[in-house]
Amino acid sequence: MSSVSSLSSGSFGQNVVLTQPAAKSVQIGQTVSIDCKANPTVYHYSGSQYYLAWYQQKPGETPKLLIRLTSERLSGISSRFTGSGRGNGVDFTLTISGVQAEDAAVYYCQTGSYCRD
């Protein structure tokens, strides 16, 4: 079994608290969803997009930005990684399909206006 972990992350100026599960363990090939709940709501960008991003951090490495603005996957990031939200600015999910051994990492959700270049 490979361990895919997530830890709590911080916030920025508006004092949003983001809550995530402590850890998840899944088998290779499975699909895993990591939830992130904001309190109060995350700043809205446009449509169904909010200023919510997901990072992946592997041991000994700096965090890598996977997804910004709720669901916008960065160039070079596998389509196995999908970000989504319920459109309420509170509930967000990172889904990893077909989990691979190299996906074992800490996953952070983060909010802030950095999300758009």
* Max Cα–Cα distance, the chain, nearest Å: 39
If you average pLDDT over residues 55-79, what whole number do you get? 95
Handedness of CA 96, 56, 3, 28 (dihedral sign): positive
Question: What is the reported pLDDT for 68?
Answer: 93
Buried/exposed 69-104: b ≥16 CB within 10 Å, e otherwise: bbbebeeeeeeebbbebeeebbebbbebeebeeebb
- More confident of the two residues 44 and 98: 98
CA-wise closest residue to 16 among 34, 38, 37, 43: 38
pLDDT tens digits, 85-104 = 998 989 999 999 999 999 99
Nearby residues of 21 by Cβ (< 8 Å), 6 or more positions away: 6, 34, 35
* Number of domains comprising the chain: 1
Rounded to an integer, the average pLDDT of 42-69 is 91
C-alpha span between 62 and 69 (Å, rounded): 20
Residue 46 CA to its chain's centroid (Å): 19
- Rg of the chain over Cα atoms, rounded to whole angstroms, equals 13
Predicted pLDDT of residue 82: 98
Q: Which range is most confident: 15-19, 45-49, 50-54, 109-113? A: 50-54
CATH number at residue 8: 2.60.40.10
User: Residue 7: what pLDDT?
Assistant: 37
Residue 11 pLDDT level (bands cut at 50, 70, 90): very low
Range of the domain at 55: 2-115
